[in-house]
Chain A
Amino acid sequence: AQSVTQLDSQVPVFEEAPVELRCNYSSSVSVYLFWYVQYPNQGLQLLLKYLSGSTLVKGINGFEAEFNKSQTSFHLRKPSVHISDTAEYFCAVSGFTGNQFYFGTGTSLTVIP
């Protein structure tokens, strides 16, 4: 079985500063990894995904994430945040052996002007 841990429930950051949202997973099998974003009063939107290949994945809105198999991590980064990045961010894992699709508990990113 898989599980996902998002280490920070809330992350405040000043506008134009860099940000890293942390995600660790546990799994006994190989996995696919995802980051989703949820803006206020909206559903979830895919930011980026890792299926295979390069461990550095680029997504929409200037976000990127790095898959680190030895540390079982998939941290999300952005070099310079904007006010419009204020949202809830969810890390998710899916196993490709027929196992389950799990979400973390979310990280609330607040960008301060």
Chain B
Amino acid sequence: DVKVTQSSRYLVKRTGEKVFLECVQDMDHENMFWYRQDPGLGLRLIYFSYDVKMKEKGDIPEGYSVSREKKERFSLILESASTNQTSMYLCASSPPGQGRDSYEQYFGPGTRLTVT
């Protein structure tokens, strides 16, 4: 079974703090993704990575950065958290496809981040 884990299920941070969300997958997948999920908006892609040290912007990268130093780990960084970044963050991984394409994405349980 593919396993994607995220470092925290719930996180509360203050405005202006630097926030790290960690994601680890154990299936040796090349592709990893970060989404945010908001009611009525579905999932929106923030960043994705198709290889170590490679990253591509998704649809809403503003206010976020990512790091992929090892194949199994993909970190999402909020440089200076703001209240409009309160959301559910979902990490996913997939076997190689063409860029963002993949046959299937495997998701972690999500991190519910609240910025106060």
Contact = CB atoms under 8 A, between A and B. Distances in A.
Contact of B45 (A43, A101, A105): A101
Question: Which among B35, B90, B100, B101 has the highest number of chain A CB atoms within 10 Å?
Answer: B101
Interface size class for chain A? 20 to 34
Given A42-B109, A43-B90, A90-B42, A98 B101 contact: yes
B43 A94 contact: no
A49 B106 CA distance: 13
Question: Which among B102, B104, B108 has the highest number of chain A CB atoms within 10 Å?
Answer: B104
B104 A43 contact: no
Given A45-B107, A101-B45, A94 B40 contact: no
Contact of A94 (B4, B42, B102): B102
Contacts of B42: 6, 90, 103-106
B100 A101 contact: yes
A97 interface: yes
B101 A34 contact: no
Contacts of B105: 44, 46, 101
Chain B contact residues, majority secondary structure: loop
Contacts of A49: 103-104
A34 B98 CA distance: 17
A60 B38 CA distance: 26
A100 B100 contact: yes
A101 B90 contact: no
A99 B43 contact: no
Nearest to A100: B100
A14 interface: no
Nearest to B40: A105
12 contacts: A9-B40, A42-B110, A43-B90, A44-B105, A44-B107, A46-B106, A95-B101, A98-B98, A99-B101, A100-B99, A101-B33, A105-B42
